[in-house]
Amino acid sequence: MNTLPSSDITVRRMDFAIPPTLDPVFVRGCPEESFVYLGLSLVLPHLEPYLIRTMQAALRQIEDPLLAARVKQFCAQEGQHHRQHTALNQALGLLDIPALASLDAEIAADYRRFSEEESLQFNAAYAEGFEAATAALGVMAFKSALFDQMEPLSADLWRWHTVEELEHRTVAFDVYERLFGDRRYRLKTALFAHKHLTGFAVRAAKALLAAHPQRLAGAHPWRRWAFAVRLGRHFLPRLLDSYLPGYDPRAIPLPDGFSAQARRYTQLAVRTS
């Protein structure tokens, strides 16, 4: 294990040279697991701009210049993430599937509505709930060697995104704590956020399975168990930690290999700031 000072945030502009088409079964031999992650990828082009809008609204109330600077770095990283996932989703043809196009419109409407109608406290708590989940997913991905089981381009894009999610894992938490600090409200909203996101990801995965039924024929049955074990062993315990008293994302032990990958993507980036 290694730990990283929580001030280490690098904004990397990447060129993954995404080709015009990509195979949606990018976790080798496991369409179900691939499609759940693609469900998340479908959400990100709407969710990450919503996080940015939320943090920009919070910035108007943040007086601490250090936290304000970190919020700006958070927004810059998330801005790169949703652009790359939009390109990825296009190469995967996600929006060419009518059920996913209509789900995409529903997702977009939800996040627009949250920004327009919900309080800053709700939006900041939702953002922290999402960030707690991405930190848990990031640790899971490294610890269970998930990226080694992906096709190379997808592995690079998801690993880069994961590295940056872990780098900025404290920002939404710090914003919520500084502006509101009501733990009960944060947990109630995080629970809503986790159900909301999981609902979209599962519906997207089901639509993808319905659109690609032939892909199930060649899938290894044991991979479904491997996916369940990965979630049960490495993701859920970490996510549940975020509901416990005293939770602080600074205490999350960063997985082996994290720092080397962070340096690698800094070197590969077209531009950093």
Query: Are the C-beta atoms of 204 and 98 separated by less than 8 Å?
Result: no
Please tell me whether residue 85 binds Fe ion under the rule CB under 5 A: no
Burial 35-46 (b: 16+ CB within 10 A, else e): bbbbbbbbbbbb
Strand 12-13 vs strand 271-272: parallel, antiparallel, or unpaired? antiparallel
Shorter beta-carbon distance to Fe ion: residue 165 or 174: 165
Please tell me whether residue 186 binds Fe ion under the rule CB under 5 A: no
Shorter beta-carbon distance to Fe ion: residue 78 or 128: 78
Query: Are the C-beta atoms of 150 and 256 separated by less than 8 Å?
Result: no
Sign of CA dihedral 140, 79, 187, 228: negative
Please tell me whether residue 81 binds Fe ion under the rule CB under 5 A: yes
Q: Which residue is nearest to Fe ion (CB)?
A: 81
Shorter beta-carbon distance to Fe ion: residue 31 or 45: 45
User: Which of the residues 112 through 171 are near Fe ion (CB under 5 A)?
Assistant: 165
Stretch that binds Fe ion, among 6-14, 29-37, 78-86, 177-185 (CB under 5 A): 78-86
**Cα–Cα distance, 22 to 154 (Å, whole number):** 9
Q: Tell me how far, at minimum, the Cβ of 24 lies from Fe ion, in Å.
A: 20
How many residues touch Fe ion (CB under 5 A)? 3
Stretch that binds Fe ion, among 4-12, 73-81, 143-151, 221-229 (CB under 5 A): 73-81
Q: Give Rg (Cα) of the chain.
A: 18
Give the interface with Fe ion as residue ranges (CB under 5 A). 78, 81, 165
